[in-house]
Chain A
Amino acid sequence: MTLTKNELSYIINRIHRDMTSTESHILNAEWSEHCSYKSSKQHLKPLQTYNLTSIVGHDSGIIEVGDGYVITAHIESHNHPSSIEPFGGASTGIGGVVRDILSSGTRPIALLDGLRFGNVENANTKWIFKNVVSGISHYGNCIGVPTIGGELEFDECYNDYALVDVMCIGLGKKKSLIKNRAKSGDLVILLGNFTGMDGIGGSQFASDSLRSQDDTTSAIQIPNPFIKKLIIEVIMELVNHNYIKAMKDLGGGGLSCAISEIAESLSIGITVDVDKIHTKQKMTPEEIMTSESQERMLLIIDKKKLQKIHQICKKFDLLYSIIGHVTWEKKIIVANKYHVVANLPIDLVVHPPLIDRESSIPRYIMKLKKEKKYSFSYSDLTKIFAKLIVSPNLANKNWVYNQYDYEVGLRTVVKPGYDAAVLKLDNKKYLSVSMDGNPKHCYLDPYYGTLGCFDEACRNIICSGSKLIGMVNHLQFGNPENKEIFWSFLKSLYGLIDYSKNFHIPCIGGKVSFYNETAHGQIKPSPVISMIGISDHPFNTLQIQNNDNLVIIGETKDELGGSEYFYQIFDSYAGKCPQVDFKASKLHMMVVTKLLKNSLVNSITDCSKGGIAMAISKLCMLNKIGCIVNVDQIPSTLKLQIDKILFSESHSRYIMAVPDNKLTKIISILRSNNVIFNLIGKFNTDKLIFKHSNNEIIKINIHTLYKKWMSTINELMI
């Protein structure tokens, strides 16, 4: 039980009596940080900037994409469970986010997952990593939703832990969206799996630090993708017939949370008879109300439609029970055969007193501003380069995505492994999706780190030839009761708000997850940002021709704090965190979009983790062609050391392959827009060569590099 003394007395003051046991369980679940957002709610308001194309009032964010279609998007994490039972934890993470998409009445069409684990050399990390990936593969493949992208990162701060972010995208017709209306007398139906003893207290479990692993087994849910697949098909049939008045998924907090939140959003009351619920075993009302058994949906329907709904459920052999009805009095009333076991005002359940957390700047931040001294010689560069490109964080992630069915649904035009995945929609438009995070940068500077993640996610969409239409985010931090953690959370949030406002990108959904810590301590601030874009023609980046020119846009600055270079080679984070220049960033996005639209470019990517070195290598490896790069031509701040030019992770930079006959046109467009750019190389060899003052400082065979880049993670996981 997690209610504080103050919260207890607040409740007693409101209801003028002691709580019943069931009421206490309901409030403990609903007032957990996980369900109530009591630490973060008041700070999140400025982020809810909606533009004309987004629709409010659903579990998932909704954006219109033309021709009567809408896409829905939602992101969730399942960190605590995935650390203890990675296979089931990751599976149920997907199950949860898919239900949010279904709740709006849209069909899930794609999944993305952002995965973060500890040091990959540790046996426990390997175990967690392997099983999280198989859990996602098992669940996602079985429900027939393609997993089309995501990211993978290893960092010591996640040792014996895991961040498993899952994002789902749905597609539907605007007119079929669930209207979410109900009137007194409507029936409340619980559809799907049996309610059982699994996952009891899951939301409280997720609202506490993961310091000991005792007594947590019952807090972990059990996935069943087969039942989820049936639920998807049943809900789609019900939606097509317009049989559902309102819908809510059962996730954290189970029935308590679903009933109180749907009642609150519809301004109704709900009376529940717990004896009517189909349960796996004999359970008390407390257990039934807080069980987080998976694969369940709550529906509000018109009595007259019951027979039709019954027939559809029977066709799919899917269970359901009529568990209660809608009342006009805004109360949640729970009863069994004998008596009423809970009777609470909805607003009390849904609105716990918010907590004004204190914040203060973390002491470590000042210490990490200054770079560690290191020695560097030109002769080591090839070795360093080869080591860095194939290091686990930069290596190709095919070991992961080849376990996911990324093709099912016949939509995946750009497959996993590129800047953004691209999906074909039913109205002949194309949806691009990217997902990005950078805990190292966010650790050094949560504000600029978050801006950077946002900028990177946008750049990935821009490189796929799409227009930015919406963003979903997930803010993951340690214990909010710690002032320093809460400071980082606020800074990160301000970053989101500033970027979103400046670029007019609506935030269509987001989640906050606190208490991400283990016995080893807190995780680094880990915001994850997923960007959605749309286009009429997706850009194919695999078109480099022999003799194409290498052009870079943007300035390289002395910003190596939190870089993969410092981390992998010198085991250090310290230094200056890359900053985002809004003006330059906007200008570059506009210009790149113009170049792609006019088909002036054969291939493009942005510079992010691993800097220019990684970006050029990636273009070369994916196109299986080498390049000679003149490092001295790269636009950079004065007197920047060569290794810094190659590995700095400054934002708003793009590199692209341009054919000879389009070079003049591109140069004139870039010049007329006052863009910092330069011609820095030529693709005309099978080697990747970096030249400085006419010396070849790096020389590496592209096919050898490609082989190693593709196999790093395979070899680690054997």
Chain B
Amino acid sequence: MVLFILCMNVGITVFPGSNCDRDIKRVVDQTLKTCSRFYWHKKNLPSNVDVVIIPGGFSYGDYLRPGIIASHSPIIKSIKKLAKKKTPILGICNGFQILLESNLLPGTLLKNTTLSFVCKWTNIIVHNVNTPFTNQLKLYQKIPISIANGEGRYYVDSETLTSMKKNDQIVFKYENDSNNSIYNIAGVCNEDMNVVGMMPHPERAAEYEINPIDNKPSLSIFASILNQFNIEN
């Protein structure tokens, strides 16, 4: 059966103000060599989409609150349906903010402690290798990765944090530079583990020329999707 899937259908959502949509497409199509398509936010996603990636950027110019206006777009309704069907969904940076505002993931993101935008390279550690986006990584593997955000400080109440730990919902933690995120959290998933949100940008770390340290771990995040569908990279 596996052999019939020659090319996956990776859906990349595009909102007004999405900035990393084309970057993700390049990594999926050229580096990972599979197929992706853009889906404009005004329409529903087709139900045959295999994976959904919500890219970073400034949807609606971050007006009101990052991700909040986008979370009311028509496309979010179909994303919620796909989430229930256990379709793998990854939100990166602003995509993570959108997933939080859509109540598909627990917690919230606060303004950075420096009160300014921060763009730099840092390391994150994998804490859950059972999601569709981490199954090709080793537990506690280090990932050199780029962060770029103004409101990237993850916060959640202690009760929810306890249950998240119990359910293995903490996917990535910062190695040391945590921007005061609670429990050093850099990425989380839902209880079903099919919806993952992360603040750092794996697409910026997946190519060797762009990543000054090591691009393989970040590329494994994308390669995990293929593995999920048993496709050889």
| Contact yes or no, A412 B62, CB < 8 A | no
Closest to A410 in B: B23
| Residue in B22, B42, B58, B204 whose CB lies within 8 Å of A229 | B58
Chain B: interface size category:
20 to 34
Complex Cα–Cα for A568 and B116 (A): 30
- How many residue-residue contacts, CB under 8 A, span A and B? 80
A409 part of interface (Cβ distance < 8 Å): yes
Whole-angstrom distance between the Cβ of A530 and the nearest chain B Cβ: 22
Closest to A225 in B: B61
| Contact yes or no, B210 A226, CB < 8 A | no
- Given A142-B61, A402-B119, A424-B209, 15 other A-B contacts at CB below 8 A? A137-B116, A142-B17, A224-B61, A226-B17, A226-B58, A229-B58, A402-B118, A403-B118, A403-B119, A404-B117, A405-B117, A407-B210, A408-B23, A410-B204, A413-B209
Complex Cα–Cα for A130 and B10 (A): 41
**B residues within 8 A CB of A317?**
16
Task: With A407-B148, A410-B26, A410-B204 as known contacts, state yes or no: A141 contacts B58, CB within 8 Å.
Answer: yes
**Quick one: CB contact mask for B117-128 with A, threshold 8 Å, 1 for yes?**
111100000000
Whole-angstrom distance between the Cβ of B92 and the nearest chain A Cβ: 12
A144 part of interface (Cβ distance < 8 Å): yes
Complex Cα–Cα for A462 and B58 (A): 36
| Contact yes or no, B117 A403, CB < 8 A | yes
**Quick one: CB contact mask for B210-226 with A, threshold 8 Å, 1 for yes?**
10100000000000000
| Contact yes or no, A229 B146, CB < 8 A | no
Closest to A538 in B: B209
**B residues within 8 A CB of A134?**
116-117
Complex Cα–Cα for A407 and B118 (A): 12
Task: With A142-B17, A229-B17, A408-B148 as known contacts, state yes or no: A415 contacts B116, CB within 8 Å.
Answer: no
A124-162 interface with B by 8 A CB criterion: 134, 137-138, 141-144
Closest to A414 in B: B212
| Contact yes or no, B57 A144, CB < 8 A | yes
B39-60 interface with A by 8 A CB criterion: 40, 42, 57-58, 60
Complex Cα–Cα for A403 and B117 (A): 5
Complex Cα–Cα for A101 and B40 (A): 25
Closest to A142 in B: B58
**Quick one: CB contact mask for A617-642 with B, threshold 8 Å, 1 for yes?**
00000000000000000000000000
Interface of chain B, helix or strand or loop or mixed?
A: mixed
| Contact yes or no, B61 A413, CB < 8 A | no
Whole-angstrom distance between the Cβ of A7 and the nearest chain B Cβ: 42
A195-243 interface with B by 8 A CB criterion: 224-227, 229-230
Closest to A409 in B: B23
Complex Cα–Cα for A319 and B168 (A): 47
| Contact yes or no, B148 A226, CB < 8 A | no
Binding site for A on B (CB under 8 A): 16-17, 19-20, 22-23, 26-27, 40, 42, 57-58, 60-63, 116-120, 146, 148, 150, 201, 203-204, 207, 209-210, 212
| Contact yes or no, B61 A141, CB < 8 A | no
Whole-angstrom distance between the Cβ of A675 and the nearest chain B Cβ: 32
A406 part of interface (Cβ distance < 8 Å): yes
**Quick one: CB contact mask for A390-406 with B, threshold 8 Å, 1 for yes?**
00000000000111111
A609-665 interface with B by 8 A CB criterion: none
Closest to B206 in A: A410
Complex Cα–Cα for A230 and B60 (A): 10
Whole-angstrom distance between the Cβ of A424 and the nearest chain B Cβ: 6
Closest to B23 in A: A410
**B residues within 8 A CB of A411?**
210
**A residues within 8 A CB of B119?**
401-407
| Contact yes or no, A141 B26, CB < 8 A | no
| Contact yes or no, B16 A230, CB < 8 A | yes
**B residues within 8 A CB of A138?**
117
Complex Cα–Cα for A316 and B19 (A): 15
A315 part of interface (Cβ distance < 8 Å): yes
User: Which 3 A-B pairs rank lowest in CB-CB distance, beginning with the nearest?
Assistant: A226-B61, A144-B19, A142-B58
A411-439 interface with B by 8 A CB criterion: 411-413, 415, 424
| Residue in A141, A227, A315, A415 whose CB lies within 8 Å of B148 | A141
| Contact yes or no, A226 B117, CB < 8 A | no
Closest to B59 in A: A226
Whole-angstrom distance between the Cβ of B105 and the nearest chain A Cβ: 23
**A residues within 8 A CB of B20?**
144, 408
User: Mind listing 6 A-B residue pairs with CB under 8 Å?
Assistant: A226-B17, A227-B61, A405-B119, A407-B119, A413-B210, A424-B209
| Residue in A143, A315, A403, A408 whose CB lies within 8 Å of B116 | A403
